[in-house]
Amino acid sequence: MPTPRFCPQCGSGDLRHQLPPGDTHERLMCQCCAYIHYVNPKIIAGCIIEQDGKYLLCQRAIPPRPGTWTLPAGFLESGETTEDGAVREVWEETGVRAEIVSPYSIFSVPQISEVYIIFRAVALEMTGQYGPETLDCRFFAPEDIPWDSIYYPAIRQILERYIEERQAGIYGIYMGNDFSGKIHFIR
Ligand SMILES: [Zn+2]
- Cβ atoms of 48 and 90 within 8 Å: the answer is no
* C-alpha 29 – ligand 1 centre gap (Å): 8
* C-alpha 116 – ligand 1 centre gap (Å): 33
* C-alpha 2 – ligand 1 centre gap (Å): 17
**What pLDDT score was predicted for residue 178?**
85
The domain made up of 42-168 has a fold known as Nucleoside Triphosphate Pyrophosphohydrolase (3.90.79)
| Residue 139 DSSP class | E
| Beta strands, E only, 12-167 | 15-18, 27-30, 36-37, 42-51, 54-60, 69-70, 73-75, 96-109, 114-126, 134-140
The stretch 92-112 carries a mean pLDDT of: 96
For residues 16 and 36, give the distance between their C-alpha atoms in angstroms, rounded to a whole number.
Answer: 10
* C-alpha 187 – ligand 1 centre gap (Å): 52
User: pLDDT tens digit string along 126-151?
Assistant: 999 999 999 999 999 999 999 999 99
**What pLDDT score was predicted for residue 1?**
63
Angstrom distances, CA of residue 136 to CA of 26, 54, 71 = 43, 16, 12
Element (H, E) at 83: helix 82-94
Pairing of strands 27-30, 173-176: unpaired
* C-alpha 20 – ligand 1 centre gap (Å): 14
**What pLDDT score was predicted for residue 129?**
94
Break the chain into its structural domains and give their ranges. 1-39, 42-168
- Cβ atoms of 121 and 87 within 8 Å: the answer is yes
* C-alpha 43 – ligand 1 centre gap (Å): 28
Backbone angles phi and psi of 9, in degrees to 5 = -95, -45
**What pLDDT score was predicted for residue 2?**
75
State the burial class of residue 128 (Cβ atoms within 10 Å of its Cβ: 0-12, 13-18, 19+).
Answer: exposed
**Average pLDDT value over all residues in the chain:** 95
Whether 100 shows a pLDDT value over 70: the answer reads yes
* C-alpha 185 – ligand 1 centre gap (Å): 49
CATH of 1-39, one of 3.40.190.80, 1.10.3720.10, 2.20.70.10, 3.20.20.80: 2.20.70.10
